[in-house]
Structures are given as C-alpha cells and as structure tokens.
C-alpha cells in the first residue's frame, strides 16, 4: 500500500511542487492549509509522515508538532524559511524528526522522507512496540514510559533518548550517534544538548538513573549489570 503524506503548507506554489514530487514517487499526499485542518485530517486519515510548515495560520507548526507528539509517533519533518539554530533546537525538542530550510530541493525532501519512513518501519518490533527492562517500560505505540508501573512524564527528546539507550543496552553510544538518532541524522549543533537531556532524563529516572553511565571521552551507555 502507498504511504500517505500529510502536507501542511499555506503557500500554494510550494504545495504544488511538493505534491508533484511526492506523487511521482507514488506517495499519496493529503494537503492541509492551516494547523487546525491538519489536526482534523490527522484524526480521520492514516498518516505515515507529516511535512509541517512552521508559519501556518490558525495553529502554527510548533503547536501542531506538540499536539501530534502527544498522540502519535508519526515521523515529522518541519519546513521553514528560518535557518537559526535555536529554531531547529525548538523543533527537535518538540519532537520533530528532521528540519528542512526553504528553499530546499524537493528531491532531497523526498529522500529524507523515505529515510524516516524506513526508520519508522524498523522501529516497531521489540515485542510489538513494547520495551521493558528492570522496571522501566516503554510503549512505543502510545509513546509513554513507566517506571515501576508509575508513568514518567518525559519530554519528546527525553523519550527518544530513553528508547535509544534501551534499544542498545550495554553498548557505548557516542554523543554524535545520539545526536544523529534522536535529533535528526543531518543535524549540526552543540553536542552539549545531549548532555543536557541526559541530565534531565537521569533526574526523572531517580534511583534507576545509575543504569545510564557516562563513558569519559566517548558518550553514554545503558548498563546491564547493575
């Protein structure tokens, strides 16, 4: 079955270009001109990936991204004419998977979408979307986490970080690999963002924070023998 893309963009010409390129790749493209329409369509359609412009009317892209992340793990690519690093960091912190600055190559955008869709298809696994280890439980379908049967309130990137660590128990993960996986494979930014989010995650894990060890000069590891 063809994958369904939700394009949220108020610029008519940009919509036409993106729809044209994705349609040529046999994607089904559904279009929303504003944030509220996007949320309505997401609620009634089976969406596989969202292309989300930031500067859209009624409900901006930041708000739409935040709302989507509360209900879904769907891949999200932010589209914007703003290239500032702070904007990119905000998008990633809200749960976006990638961030593309206008003007962009439609072919590159299609390639990024395909990469994210492949990643999404390969990430469900692990006991039908569930990961559990020593009292820590992850439900990938609802994007929720529990510790000793109590829900943990995690920000989107904290959740992604915990998932990545649990998927790679006992393996040293470099800051670069964490940045690539959690913030987007072509993100170029301050690696200290990784340290900051690790600190926040440890605080929320309490006594179980000892499972996340710092490997000096390399990165972090989720220990299996503690």
In this prediction, residues 41-55 reach a mean pLDDT of: 91
> Is the distance from CB of 47 to CB of 74 less than 8 angstroms?
yes
CATH of the domain at 91: 3.40.50.2300
Selected residue with higher pLDDT from 183 and 98: 98
- pLDDT score for 109: 93
CATH of the domain at 132: 1.10.10.10
What pLDDT, in 10s, does the model give residues 118-165? 877 655 444 457 888 888 988 877 888 999 889 999 888 899 899 989
- pLDDT score for 201: 95
Same domain, 61 and 47: yes
Selection from 63, 78, 71 nearest residue 9 by Cα: 78
Same domain, 97 and 155: no
Dihedral of CA 59/63/64/67: which sign? negative
- pLDDT score for 1: 55
Last residue of a domain, one of 123, 158, 185: 123
- Number of domains comprising the chain: 2
Same domain, 138 and 53: no
Same domain, 68 and 175: no
- pLDDT score for 65: 92
Same domain, 115 and 137: no
What pLDDT, in 10s, does the model give residues 196-225? 999 999 999 999 999 999 998 889 999 876
In this prediction, residues 25-42 reach a mean pLDDT of: 94
In this prediction, residues 98-105 reach a mean pLDDT of: 88
pLDDT of 96 > 90? The answer is no
Full residue range of the structural domain in which residue 64 is found: 4-123
Q: Which long-range contacts (CB under 8 A, 24 or more apart) does 61-70 make?
A: 61/8, 61/35, 62/90, 62/91, 62/94, 63/35, 64/8, 64/35, 64/38, 64/39, 65/91, 65/94, 65/95, 65/96, 66/94, 66/95, 67/39, 68/39, 68/42, 68/95, 69/94, 69/95, 69/143, 69/156
Last residue of a domain, one of 84, 104, 123: 123
This prediction has a pTM of 0.62
- pLDDT score for 187: 56
- pLDDT score for 179: 84
Same domain, 137 and 206: yes
- pLDDT score for 124: 44
Last residue of a domain, one of 123, 147, 162: 123
83 pLDDT band, cuts 50/70/90, is low
Which stretch, 33-47, 124-138, 163-177, has highest mean pLDDT? 33-47
Same domain, 17 and 107: yes
Same domain, 105 and 196: no
- pLDDT score for 180: 79
């Amino acid at each position: 079955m063809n994958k369904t893309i939700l394009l949220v963009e108020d610029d008519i010409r940009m919509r036409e270009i993106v729809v044209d390129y994705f349609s040529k790749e046999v994607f089904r493209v559904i279009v929303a001109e504003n944030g509220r329409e996007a949320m309505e369509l997401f609620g009634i359609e089976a969406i596989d990936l969202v292309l989300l412009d930031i500067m859209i009317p009624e409900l901006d892209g930041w708000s739409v991204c935040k709302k989507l992340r509360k209900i879904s793990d769907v891949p999200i690519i932010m589209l914007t004419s703003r290239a500032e690093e702070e904007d990119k960091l905000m998008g990633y912190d809200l749960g976006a998977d990638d961030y593309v600055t206008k003007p962009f190559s439609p072919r590159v955008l299609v390639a990024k979408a395909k990469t994210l869709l492949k990643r999404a298809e390969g990430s469900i696994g692990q006991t039908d979307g569930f990961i559990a280890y020593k009292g820590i439980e992850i439900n990938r379908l609802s994007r929720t986490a529990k510790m000793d049967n109590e829900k943990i309130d995690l920000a989107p990137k904290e959740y992604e970080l915990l998932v990545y660590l649990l998927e790679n128990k006992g393996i040293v993960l470099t800051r670069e690999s964490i940045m690539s996986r959690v913030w987007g494979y072509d993100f170029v930014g301050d690696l200290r963002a990784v340290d900051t989010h690790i600190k926040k995650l440890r605080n929320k894990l309490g006594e179980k924070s000892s499972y996340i060890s710092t490997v000096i000069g390399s990165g972090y590891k989720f220990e299996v023998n503690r």
